[in-house]
Amino acid sequence: MASRHRIAQQLLRARPRIHQSAKHSARSFATGTSHSTSAARSKLLSVAVVAAVSGASISAYNMAVSDPIHMEARSLADLDERRKREQGVDDQSPMRLRMEKFIREQQEHIVAELEMIDGKRFQRDEWQRPHGGGGLSCVLQEGNVFEKAGVNISVVYGTLNPQAIKAMKANHKTMKEDEALDFYALGLSMVLHPRNPMAPTVHLNYRYFETMKPDGTSQAWWFGGGADLTPSYLFDEDAVHFHKTLKEACDKHDKTYYPRFKKWCDEYFSNKHRGETRGIGGIFFDDLDAAEADAENTFAFIQDCLKNFLPSYVPIINRRKDMPFTEKEKEWQQVRRGRYVEFNLVHDRGTAFGLNVPGSRVESILMSLPLTAQWRYMYEPDPKSREQRLLDVLRDPKEWV
């Protein structure tokens, strides 16, 4: 059988480094003119001219641009860094910078709020990818309320080869070329695993993806994301509250969003091999692009979704974090955590994508896994138990609002 790892590696294999730099240089020039300082502009211009002159001969071009200092200065990642530093980010900035600014603010806000709830500080690790991008991972482990909690941001600047583009074209009609394309991916991912088995695990992810034409202008873009709840013990009032809060954010923008994205969530977060969903759902959407709504409207929707996270979850964790529980109930939580691991490692496309991006930070990607998990052979709850009630709902998802 084809291994997922191998396939994803084929899709994502980086083109030769020098060649990549060549394209970056031309692109940076084209996209950079309106925002660059004139010094930066003339530097980029000279590089672009070298690129133009080198024509069809890649090896001649390689020699022309082999100065490592110039290479560093020319990438989109570096251009974006300079833009942020010199001009700040406002409504006129490229969407990727506005989205990045927004999720960085939200990360800070959410982490602060969770620290208030837990009483323990998150560990903050800032990291960089060798050729542009990086992230900030905030992880709290063995807290008072959370056994493990991660709130991460990551930014990837990379290259898609023709195979990957072909796979993506099916969903994005604006993608037309079959040559290699540069891409930009940015996202905030959060998973909170509470200690108390009565308190549900929650996951959230909002991301922005952009591909660029050879001249450096944006070619296709899309937003994706969602939030979903995974209880070990089901409290209907929690499920209703969580879904209701998400629905409010959806309804402000499009009345069809919640029903569509609720269904999508149940379908996506499914342990197909067990015939059960991971949890009691929420919303999920993989690619909201220009065919759905314009970028401004979709960005406004994403902002409302993310801002609604704390109101959707904080009342629940406050209600459940100090409830009494038995050893047997803790064991059931551990078994459910095993199922969580199964979904994330076997089915989740985000995890597969992350693990197969060269130079990715594995510890940030796998922060989604619980601190502890169990696999008990043939573990079957009693037919009329609360554990069985959860399974029934996971096997046949309910409408909560």
List interacting residues with a copy of itself (CB under 8 A).
1-5, 7-8, 11, 123, 125, 139, 141, 148, 150, 164, 167, 272-274, 334, 338, 341-342, 345-347, 349, 352-353, 355-356, 360, 362-363, 366-367, 369-378
Residue type for position 348: D
Q: How far is the CB of 142 from a copy of itself (least distance, A)?
A: 9
Q: How far is the CB of 255 from a copy of itself (least distance, A)?
A: 30
Distances (CA, A) of 257 to 134, 157, 261, 289, 365: 31, 30, 6, 14, 28
* Residue with smaller CB distance to a copy of itself, 134 or 370: 370
Structure tokens at 340: 């969580």
* Residue with smaller CB distance to a copy of itself, 203 or 247: 203
316 and 241 in contact (C-beta within 8 Å)? yes
* Residue with smaller CB distance to a copy of itself, 121 or 273: 273
Q: Which residues contact 335 (CB under 8 A, 6 or more apart)?
A: 374, 375, 376, 379
The H or E element containing residue 147 is strand 146-160
* Residue with smaller CB distance to a copy of itself, 13 or 70: 13
Task: Give catalytic residues, as residue numbers.
Answer: 203
**Residue whose C-alpha is closest to residue 83's, from 43, 34, 26, 128:** 34
* Residue with smaller CB distance to a copy of itself, 96 or 339: 339
* Residue with smaller CB distance to a copy of itself, 217 or 372: 372
**Residue whose C-alpha is closest to residue 83's, from 66, 100, 68, 69:** 100
Q: How far is the CB of 13 from a copy of itself (least distance, A)?
A: 13
> What is the C-alpha separation between 188 and 151, in angstroms, rounded?
7
CA 265 to chain centre: 15
**Residue whose C-alpha is closest to residue 334's, from 284, 370, 385, 289:** 370
The DSSP 8-state label assigned to residue 401 in this structure reads -
> What is the C-alpha separation between 158 and 392, in angstroms, rounded?
43
> What is the C-alpha separation between 329 and 381, in angstroms, rounded?
11
Q: How far is the CB of 296 from a copy of itself (least distance, A)?
A: 28
Q: How far is the CB of 330 from a copy of itself (least distance, A)?
A: 12
Q: How far is the CB of 153 from a copy of itself (least distance, A)?
A: 16
Structure tokens at 288: 């909201």
